[in-house]
Structure 1
């Protein structure tokens, strides 16, 4: 097995110089660096990261706990995490908590026991077990997609404003009975998207009707049941908004089984765009989240935390885009445009993309 000593001999430098080149711990003259890299390539030397971790207490690894990895949204987030981590020299350990609080807590403990340097977690609806674990053990963590509180680093997309945009768009087309298939109770994304729905109704001068809000539990089967529930109302909706891509599939399934044509019989708009949304007939009007950038931003925030453990926690929000197609009932397409940011509560300034809580 090739060692640093072998590389040093071939390059005609000291072992310390090879170490500085490999670990990027000190500037090395370009000519010397080139000679070391050429020797590494020629001899096929592989850096022993395990041995280095014993010295530095760093494993150059990140734990990623994300549910429903098969979901296109989280798959794109994973791509963003992986690309940014690799660029920084980190590897990933991935686990699926299945949106179950008890399993999530076990997964976080398992990743911690594998001595990852930090974690990125998409939390469940009841993340208290996880937050208590990482707080007590001072585990560097970034919560992704869903918010858990101001005491942690967090990255998510805007939700309230974009859903408001969908509702006001449908209202502008003449719809006065607009339904929402909402996500899993307890998730911050569910809360914010319901807020956006109600804000859109207010902006359009429409009353809130409780029978037009149904829970789809963030998954296809639940959304199918919720859509049937909405359409069974005495005065059913003429337009429906679905609050994530999995629930869009469930809603479409229900509409198909009921023999309803979109958008001739009912309009449909959804939160979460996905790569094959424009392959449906009609093509789906959607809110597109910056999935890959969310993953990359979470890695950057975690690396900042590792470099400066004492800095105040930050919440980073990224904007979405309104992707206009034809399922809403409009003829033809328009170019995607930015979706509105989350409206600020009365008496407060609009939320910035990145926020640091006051000490």
Structure 2
């Protein structure tokens, strides 16, 4: 069985550096942390869990509370969290809040009862309440959406800017009646994507219309209904910005039911680059978010906070990129 000395030798650092890196100390250079994690993974090094737990008086378990386990965006975040946690001997318990504040609250209670070492959470809405975690000084990191009225380590994507760029792309392709199907009001990502859409229209001095906007749950069924409503109008949209990949399935279904072809008849850009996006005909233009990186950065921040819960909170904002495919072109 590999020892901490073996890891130090493989990484070319001292055993003290290995210890600090594996315990998430913020004073360790990120390059050294990466070398240590790689060495630990290669050697199959497992920290002495029971001894460490006695020192910390907690389980070597992290709770990850996500909004929707069926959404590939959140499963990719979970993989990023798990990879980082596993490399330093932590296990991850995945909790699916399903965009439901009551379920989220129950999982927060479970995290406290089980004395987890820390929590990563994607808040469901403005009703998210983490007071019990904060009062118990449980290390906490928010992902995708900031905690309402609370300051914590947070990992976000600049989706407002990404939505603006996606809408600008549709304008540049000559679409004139661009609509937006986004999530519920009060959910930060849904609000930001709608705001970015409106930013692009205003900047282009383009006449937008409230009739071309729909809010619904971040699900296929809701997007299907919303898209059908838009298409049944006297002046339906000739392009759509869609807030996530599950909703994109609903939009594509509604377009097919109306005998409309993506791109040629109605331009479509959706958030998140899922595996099937490049396989549909025409391939789907997407806003690709760095979901795995969100998870890995969040896990690193949580480990650092476990090591030092008095450090100042930070906000990390990552970028997204447009992947231009056939669904946003008329030909």
TM-score normalised by length of structure 1: 0.77
State the Cα distance separating 1:51 from its structure 2 match.
5.4
Runs of 4+ in 1 over 4 A off after TM superposition: none
Gaps of 5+ in 2: 4-14, 21-42
State the Cα distance separating 1:133 from its structure 2 match.
2.0
State the Cα distance separating 1:264 from its structure 2 match.
1.7
Gaps of 5+ in 1: 1-6, 8-19, 26-40, 332-359
State the Cα distance separating 1:60 from its structure 2 match.
2.3
Residue 207 of structure 1 is matched in structure 2 by: 207
Q: Is the 8 A contact 1:61 1:91 kept in 2?
A: yes
1:179-190 mapped onto 2 (5 Å cutoff):
179-190=179-190
Cα distance in 2 for residues equivalent to 1:24 and 1:148? 31
Q: Is the 8 A contact 1:184 1:217 kept in 2?
A: yes
Residue 7 of structure 2 is matched in structure 1 by: none
Cα distance in 2 for residues equivalent to 1:52 and 1:88? 12
Report the more deviating stretch, 50-59 or 287-296. Answer: 50-59
Cα distance in 2 for residues equivalent to 1:64 and 1:182? 25
Cα distance in 2 for residues equivalent to 1:236 and 1:252? 15
Q: Is the 8 A contact 1:181 1:216 kept in 2?
A: yes
Cα distance in 2 for residues equivalent to 1:77 and 1:259? 36
Residue 117 of structure 1 is matched in structure 2 by: 117
1:201-350 mapped onto 2 (5 Å cutoff):
201-329=201-329
Q: Is the 8 A contact 1:162 1:196 kept in 2?
A: yes
Cα RMSD after superposing both structures:
2.3
Aligned residues: 294
Larger Rg: 1
TM-score normalised by length of structure 2: 0.83
Query: Cα gap change, 1:55/1:280 in structure 2, threshold over 3 Å: closer, same or farther?
Result: same
Residue 13 of structure 1 is matched in structure 2 by: none
SS at match of 1:64: strand
Residue 334 of structure 1 is matched in structure 2 by: none
State the Cα distance separating 1:235 from its structure 2 match.
1.0
Query: Cα gap change, 1:48/1:153 in structure 2, threshold over 3 Å: closer, same or farther?
Result: closer
Residue 12 of structure 2 is matched in structure 1 by: none
SS at match of 2:67: coil
Alignment deviations for residues 13-53 of structure 1 (CA, whole Å, 9 cap, x no partner): xxxxxxx99x959xxxxxxxxxxxxxxx9xxxx97634542
Cα distance in 1 for residues equivalent to 2:99 and 2:307? 30
State the Cα distance separating 1:330 from its structure 2 match.
5.7
SS at match of 2:286: strand
Alignment deviations for residues 275-334 of structure 1 (CA, whole Å, 9 cap, x no partner): 221001000111000010000010011112112211221111111111011100165xxx
